[in-house]
A and B are shown apart, each in its own frame.
Chain A
Amino acid sequence: MANAQQHVSLRGLSHVFSDGRQPLAALSGISLEVPWGQFTSVIGPSGCGKSTLLRIVGGLLRPSQGQVIIDGQPPRAAQRAREIGFVFQDPALLPWRSVLTNVRLPLEIDSLARSRPLPRPEELLGLVGLADFRDYYPHQLSGGMQQRVAIARALAFNPSLLLMDEPFGALDEITRSAMRYELLRIWEARPGARGRKTVLFVTHSIAEAITLSDRVVVLSARPGAVRADIDIELTRPRSQELERSRPFLDYADHLRSLLKEAPQ
């Protein structure tokens, strides 16, 4: 029996893309244990397989080697149990649906899940601060607002695990730093059945990783392997002032040097 404190276990994950002309090694021998309720960021140079890692954890991709265990079951089972919520870099809202019906989409796909206690879509929109925009259409919203809708949509089943793939990567700097604190607020306001949701957050922003996380995993360049695994011991709730504090800057320096050593 796996350690019950661990929510997500990655064991010897390797992945090689073999559909191109030449096989491309994306990940090599990644093992991680993520406890329940931890906010973990995965950071690394571009093309290091961060997104591939997340897609494997979420059951969208089968790894060439190794396995993923989520609460004692494989990713696909966790997905079927509606325990995983996804937020991608592209919010990919359906443009012909209003904000509210976009958030409701997951419930339409799985009508059975409605038998369990779920947050109402209207309530989720309130949580992400878009209660007044429920009847708007995606093209009427800014990028940041669209990503808030995507976050609300990911929370539709109240999953215990959130997988976020550079969700703020396409936003401008000001919106982006505001969204960090928004995400923390939402995360702290909306616990799952077992306390806070576990979050796996892929990013290439050092500041974002430190601000949000309990722990930052640094991947090396392709094929991605765990280069460093750092606990971020900053008090919560975190605020913008923290970004100018000594410990924050030290973490940032440390991460920057680790990323610099990793050849691009």
Chain B
Amino acid sequence: MTIRQTVQRTLRTFASYVLPPALAVTAALLFWELWVRWRDISLIVVPPPSAVWERFWDDPTFFWREGGYTLYEATLGLLLGSAIAVALAVLMAHSRLAERTLFPLAIVIKVTPLVAVAPVLVIMLGFGTTPKVIVAALLSFFPTLVNAITGFRDVNPGALEFLRSLRASSWQVFWKLRLPSALPYLFAAFKVTYPLALIGAVVAEWFTGDRGLGVVIFVANSNLDTPTLFAAIGVLALTGIAINALLSLAERRLLFWHESFRTVP
């Protein structure tokens, strides 16, 4: 490929993937700024984007550092919750009895309002990283479990029959067929659970925090420091967008064979 072709392709990717959402965000911010100025809304109620940006630019390392803590806790929680969910899903996908036995417990975790439980977790687990990781894990557990069970079962019956005709072991069927078949479901789950894990970490930080964006938001809220509050939310949002972009990129690489990449032009 010539340099010119590479440049053209990069520009085209930029124009089709980056430009449209960037325009949408810019339009929303512009609208927000003008609205606040026109209505002369107090800084304490809703700060204009310019004030939020000013606060952020004042000390960007502060926000990135606190965001980094939150991201770290959320990621550990996601890994923990997903690992347990996938392990249980393997069991449940192979046995209806295991599903009937364990699924009600999973639903208990699902319906428990974690915001209400967080203070109890602090009492149980103390301060530090652990309670945040646990809350993030609890929030990311259920969607991964449900998607993984469906994914492990949603295999091509013909391919399953062929593997059976080869006398493949359950273990081989799992690695060669069930796990790859479940990947689209797992990616869909991670796109839901990573943001949930972030929320879980932030909420846990409110109650037990000594660091992280949850603490920043909590303190700023107490001080009616809305620019800091919104800057923290903005960093959180950017983190979420970056995670989503990375997941989409990995998805394109790994799931090129899947229908979902051919049904939309």
- Chain A residues proximal to chain B, CB less than 8 Å: 58-60, 76, 79-80, 84, 86, 88, 90-96, 105-106, 108-110, 137-139, 153
Contact = CB atoms under 8 A, between A and B. Distances in A.
B159 interface: yes
B167 interface: yes
Contact of A95 (B162, B163, B164, B257): B257
Highest count of chain A CB atoms <10 Å: which of B156, B166, B262: B166
Contact of B172 (A90, A96, A109): A109
B162 A139 contact: no
A109 B165 contact: no
Contacts of B162: 86, 88, 92, 153
Looking at chain B's contact residues, the main secondary structure is helix
A45 B156 CA distance: 26
Contact of A92 (B156, B166, B168, B262): B156
Nearest to A106: B166
8 contacts: A86-B165, A90-B158, A92-B156, A96-B257, A109-B172, A138-B257, A139-B257, A139-B262
Interface of B: 156-159, 161-168, 172, 176-177, 180, 256-258, 262
B257 A137 contact: yes
Nearest to A59: B165
Contacts of B262: 139
B158 A58 contact: no
Given A108-B176, A109-B176, A92 B158 contact: yes
A109 B172 CA distance: 7
Contact of A94 (B157, B164, B176, B256): B176
User: Nearest 6 pairs between A and B by C-beta?
Assistant: A92-B158, A90-B158, A95-B257, A92-B159, A86-B165, A96-B257
B259 to A, nearest CB: 8
Nearest to B262: A139
B165 A60 contact: yes
A91 B159 CA distance: 8
Contacts of A88: 158, 161-162
B165 A58 contact: yes
Contacts of B159: 92-94
A111 B165 CA distance: 16
B165 A80 contact: no
A94 B177 contact: yes
Nearest to B183: A96
A76 B164 CA distance: 11
Given A58-B165, A92-B156, A109-B176, 18 more contacts: A59-B165, A76-B167, A79-B166, A80-B167, A84-B165, A88-B161, A91-B158, A92-B157, A92-B159, A94-B176, A94-B177, A94-B180, A108-B176, A109-B166, A109-B168, A137-B257, A139-B257, A139-B262
Contacts of A79: 165-167
B170 to A, nearest CB: 12
A5 B264 CA distance: 57
Contacts of A58: 165
Contacts of A76: 167
Nearest to A82: B166
A148 to B, nearest CB: 15
Name the residue in B163, B165, B168 with the highest tally of chain A Cβ atoms < 10 Å from its Cβ.
B165
Nearest to A87: B162
**Residue among A108, A138, A153 with max Cβ neighbours from chain B (10 Å):** A108
Given A60-B161, A94-B159, A110 B257 contact: no
A142 to B, nearest CB: 15
A21 to B, nearest CB: 20
Nearest to A94: B159
Contacts of B156: 90, 92
Contacts of B164: 60
Nearest to B156: A92
B161 A92 contact: yes
